[in-house]
């Protein structure tokens, strides 16, 4: 998952004005970025809480609650970005968090 430039595309609300993107040097960094986005949202919603915890289902609910989320991952062999959907993002996050847990 290293060295594959990844662009995460997302839309947080029905308004097209909420479309945004984040780019990362690797898929791993992109998954960390999505987790960080969710963690910042949790801190925003619970400003008095010092310790905030969540499980994979909470993170999936956050991702599913977005109007849209997808990723473009650069593939060196074809010299192009390949598109991936929300389910792929969730699968990669699961693999990433599982690896971090070990």
Q: In the prediction, which pLDDT does 2 show? A: 61
Enter the DSSP assignment of 57. H
CA dihedral 69, 63, 36, 99 (to 10 degrees): -100
Query: Is this structure's pTM higher than 0.85?
Result: yes
pLDDT by residue for the chain (102 residues), tens only, comes to 568 999 999 999 999 999 999 999 999 999 999 999 999 999 999 988 888 889 999 999 999 999 999 999 999 999 999 999 999 999 999 999 999 888
Q: What is the pLDDT of residue 101?
A: 87
pLDDT value at residue 14: 95
Angle at 24 between CA 88 and CA 56, to 5 degrees: 40
Per-residue tokens: 91:
């699968």
Classified as helix, coil or strand, 8 is strand
Q: Give the start-end residues of each E strand in the chain.
A: 6-11, 19-24, 68-75, 80-84
DSSP state of 76: T
The separation between CA 70 and the C-alpha centre of its own chain, rounded to angstroms, equals: 8
The CATH number fitting domain 6-101, selected from 3.30.1240.10, 3.30.2260.10, 3.40.50.12160, 3.40.630.10: 3.30.2260.10
Domain residue extents for the chain: 6-101
């Amino acid at each position: 998952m290293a060295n594959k430039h990844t662009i995460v595309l997302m839309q947080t609300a029905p308004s097209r004005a909420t479309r945004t993107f984040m780019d990362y040097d690797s898929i791993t960094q992109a998954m960390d970025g999505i987790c960080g986005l969710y963690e910042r949202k949790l801190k925003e919603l619970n400003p008095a809480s010092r310790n905030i915890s969540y499980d994979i289902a909470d993170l999936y609910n956050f991702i599913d609650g977005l109007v849209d989320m997808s990723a473009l991952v650069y593939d060196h062999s074809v010299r192009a970005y390949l598109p991936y959907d929300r389910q792929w993002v969730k699968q990669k996050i699961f693999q990433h968090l599982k690896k971090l847990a070990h």
